[in-house]
Amino acid sequence: MASNGARLFEPINLRSVAVKNRIAVSPMSQYRAVNGYANAWHMVHLGRFALGGAGLVFAEATAVEDRGRRTHGDLGLWDDAQIEPLVPVTKFITDEGAVPGVQLGHAGRKASERRPWQGETPVDEEDVELRGEAPWAAIAPSAIPYADGWPTPDEMTDADIEKVVGAFGAAARRSLEAGFRVIEVYAAHGFLVHQFLSPIANQRRDKWGGDAAGRRRFALEVARSIRANWPEDLPLLFRLSATDWLEGGIEVEETIETAQALALEGVDMIDCSTGGIGGRERPRRMKIEQGFQVPFANQIKNSVGIATMAVGCLWDPEVCEAVIADGSADMVALARELLDDPNWPLHTAAALGANENHALWPPESGWWLMKRERLFSKLGLR
Ligand SMILES: Cc1cc2nc3c(=O)[nH]c(=O)nc-3n(C[C@H](O)[C@H](O)[C@H](O)COP(=O)(O)O)c2cc1C
């Protein structure tokens, strides 16, 4: 499709998957699944982004194990029965010209949490009374709670590790059957894979901990397990927290090595986020402003030679265009901006001169909007 010079609207190939532009819908937990099953909410939530012109539409963090859910409302793919309700969702996204992706994850020590608007605190007996939602035991690389007031997770045994690694592979196979064409592993924001990577959460002395190579082993095994169950011609992404922003945590230099090691396991793109390893307070080094994580995408892309996705506080069309045009990243992912305006990609294409006559809109809307625009100009309104 012609992009009229706007780099944001140039297609990109990820292995055999052609994505029509550089805009991804960042994974957004909806807390609306029941026992991990998708329903009409997921169809409408994700479907509107496909209609809104995003090239790659990611479903939210999807648990590979029951105990790996963050909340009772998380989506899951730990059971074959969870495949079927996702099929119409991925079909709709595909039929509307976007690519359906899924983010596979495990909450580790952040499991059994209340939904954000219920406090993002551990589920307890009060939730049983209020909502019939019981707490469950969490597992983690080390028996270190996520934050003050959180329960201590059980340190994972070798058998636990093997089981979870296998669960990622099984969920990859189910993702394929559900119709997804891209998998992203949730290895950021303090969830299980990140817990293994970060020395703040991983204080093991066996082969799964210690130096960076040891802490990285779990992520690499997860990549291997997925690759063994996911077709060679389909892309695999990892979302990493490039830095923990904390003394004694991961710094970008280590993440660059992790990205290098992941690339050797068949990972095609790094989605570059930051933070989230522990505690509720924002680390002092973390200064939030528009595009504040873009430099990490740039550094990882240009030192490893792997494709990257930039994410976080990206909302301005010109800024997003510049991220692609200056080679900082290959794609951008947006979350809250798209909640505010699911048609942001279409509006952005117009702002960048790449959507003449509403050509990128589904004709069911575009035809009428084009006529309305002509009327506006006739009436001298816009
Ligand atoms: C409602 C909501 C749910 C989110 N759920 C997830 C998730 O499931 N997985 C994830 O990696 N990030 C999740 N995030 C973080 C976003 O994907 C994104 O990285 C973050 O919001 C920064 O991007 P933004 O400034 O465009 O919102 C969520 C964010 C929001 C607003």
Domain boundary assignment for the chain: 7-378
282 pocket-lining for ligand 1 (C-beta < 6 Å): no
Query: pLDDT tens, 288-309?
Result: 999 999 999 999 999 999 999 9
- Residue showing tokens 């490039």: 242
Question: How far is 213 from 124, CA to CA, in rounded Å?
Answer: 37
Verify whether ligand 1 is closer than 6 Å to residue 103 (CB atom): yes
Instruction: Using most ligand atoms within 8 A of CB, pick from 23, 28, 118 the residue to mutate for ligand 1.
Output: 28
Nearest to 278 by CA among 151, 191, 156: 191
**Cα dist from 42 to 30, 39, 45, 176, 255, whole Å:** 8, 6, 5, 18, 32
- Residue 273 Cα, ligand 1 centroid: separation in angstroms? 10
pLDDT of residue 278: 86
CATH class name, domain 7-378: alpha beta
What pLDDT does residue 1 have?
47
Query: What is the distance between the alpha carbons of residues 169 and 228, in angstroms, rounded to a whole number?
Result: 7
- CA-313 nearest atom, ligand 1: 25
Write down the mean pLDDT value for the chain: 97
Which of 23, 26, 60, 288 maximizes ligand 1 atoms within 8 Å of its Cβ, making it the mutation to test the pocket?
26
Residue 379 has pLDDT above 70, yes or no: yes
Ligand 1 pocket residue status of 27, Cβ below 6 Å: yes
**What number is the average pLDDT over the span 176-190?**
98
Distance CA 339, CA 88 (A): 22
pTM: 0.97
**Binding site membership of 273 for ligand 1 (Cβ less than 6 Å):** yes
Q: pLDDT tens digits, residue range 81-127?
A: 999 999 999 999 999 999 999 999 999 999 999 999 999 999 999 99
**Residues contacting 27, CB < 8 A, separation 6+:** 58, 59, 60, 61, 103, 184, 186, 239, 335
| 8 Å CB contact between 59 and 75 | yes
pLDDT tens track for 312-323: 999 999 999 999
Q: With 70 as the cut, is the pLDDT of residue 2 above it? A: no
Q: Which residue type is seen at 278? A: G
Ligand 1 centroid to residue 85 C-alpha, Å: 23
For every residue of 76-89, DSSP letters joined together read E-SSGGGTGGGHHH
CA of 166 from ligand 1 middle (Å) equals 26
Q: How far is the CA of 249 from the centre of ligand 1 (A)?
A: 22
Q: What is the average per-residue pLDDT within 37-42? A: 98
